[in-house]
């Protein structure tokens, strides 16, 4: 952040991402030929590696795509399924925490450095409290969304070991591909992440 002239005050996690399907899925043997909503190269890669057909669909078009059969699977948090009432078209949600998005709240370094120490301490205290509150609310909402999906007839469960192993292998390959272009800076980021 310092290289970008920024000071991070706090982050707020979103619920983890999982897979929605209109059928039971235990491995990629069950995903062959499924039309999968993709919205970037990473989601398209997941789809292709699992034998699915990536279909580019914007978030605003998701409900219509599910209703018309343009797509019958996608990856997102429980929030999306709840907001879009996907139980009208889909039957299963698999928790995989494929990624854990975060919002970051930052301030310009010169502005931060221009504040009195007492003001900085007060802002940081508020940021720390907000971060903790935000993390707790995200966990609470995640549980709420899963309960709502289940109460509307969906099966919500952790991905099985075979499917999870396939996802981890895809993730490892995507990481290796990224490191080829990211180089030493990317490796340093990955090492710092793994150290935590």
For residue 1, pLDDT beyond 90: no
Report how far residue 105's alpha carbon sits from residue 24's, in angstroms, rounded to the nearest whole number. 39
Q: 119-140 burial by CB neighbour count: b if 16+ within 10 A, else e?
A: eeeeeeeebeeebeebeeebee
Percent of the chain with pLDDT strictly greater than 70:
100
How high is the pLDDT of residue 109? 97
- Return the domain boundaries, the chain: 2-195
How high is the pLDDT of residue 101? 87
Q: Which pLDDT tens digit goes with each residue over 51-69?
A: 999 999 998 899 999 999 9
How high is the pLDDT of residue 184? 94
| pTM > 0.75: yes or no | yes
Expressed in angstroms, the distance from the first to the final Cα of the chain is: 18
How high is the pLDDT of residue 159? 96
How high is the pLDDT of residue 165? 96
- 2-195 placed in CATH 3.90.1150.10: no
Q: Which pLDDT tens digit goes with each residue over 68-88?
A: 999 999 999 999 999 999 999
In which residue are the tokens 């409900």 written?
63
Report how far residue 148's alpha carbon sits from residue 118's, in angstroms, rounded to the nearest whole number. 44
For residue 133, pLDDT beyond 90: yes
Cα 128 to the center of its chain, rounded Å: 23
How high is the pLDDT of residue 100? 82
Report how far residue 79's alpha carbon sits from residue 67's, in angstroms, rounded to the nearest whole number. 18
Percent of the chain with pLDDT strictly greater than 90:
90
How high is the pLDDT of residue 59? 86
CB 121 within 8 A of CB 9: no
Please return the burial class of 117, using the count of CB atoms within 10 Å of its CB with bins 0-12, 13-18 and 19+. exposed
How high does pLDDT run on average in the chain?
95
Other CB atoms within 10 A of residue 196 CB? 4
């Amino acid at each position: 952040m310092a290289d970008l002239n920024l000071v991070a005050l706090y982050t707020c996690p979103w619920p983890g991402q999982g897979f929605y399907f209109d059928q039971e899925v235990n491995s990629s043997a069950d995903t062959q030929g499924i039309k999968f909503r993709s919205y970037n190269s990473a989601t398209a890669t997941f789809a292709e590696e699992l034998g699915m057909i990536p279909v580019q669909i914007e978030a605003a078009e998701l409900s219509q795509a599910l209703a018309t059969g343009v797509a019958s699977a996608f990856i997102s948090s429980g929030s999306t399924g709840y907001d879009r009432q996907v139980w009208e078209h889909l039957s299963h949600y698999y928790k995989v925490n494929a990624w854990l998005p975060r919002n970051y709240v930052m301030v310009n370094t010169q502005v931060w450095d221009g504040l009195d120490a007492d003001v900085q301490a007060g802002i940081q205290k508020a940021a720390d409290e907000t971060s903790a509150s935000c993390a707790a609310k995200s966990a609470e909402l995640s549980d709420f969304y899963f309960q709502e999906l289940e109460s509307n007839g969906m099966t919500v469960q952790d991905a099985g070991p075979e499917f999870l192993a396939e996802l981890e292998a895809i993730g490892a390959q995507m990481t290796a591909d990224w490191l080829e272009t990211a180089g030493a800076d990317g490796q340093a980021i990955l090492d710092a992440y793994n150290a935590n």
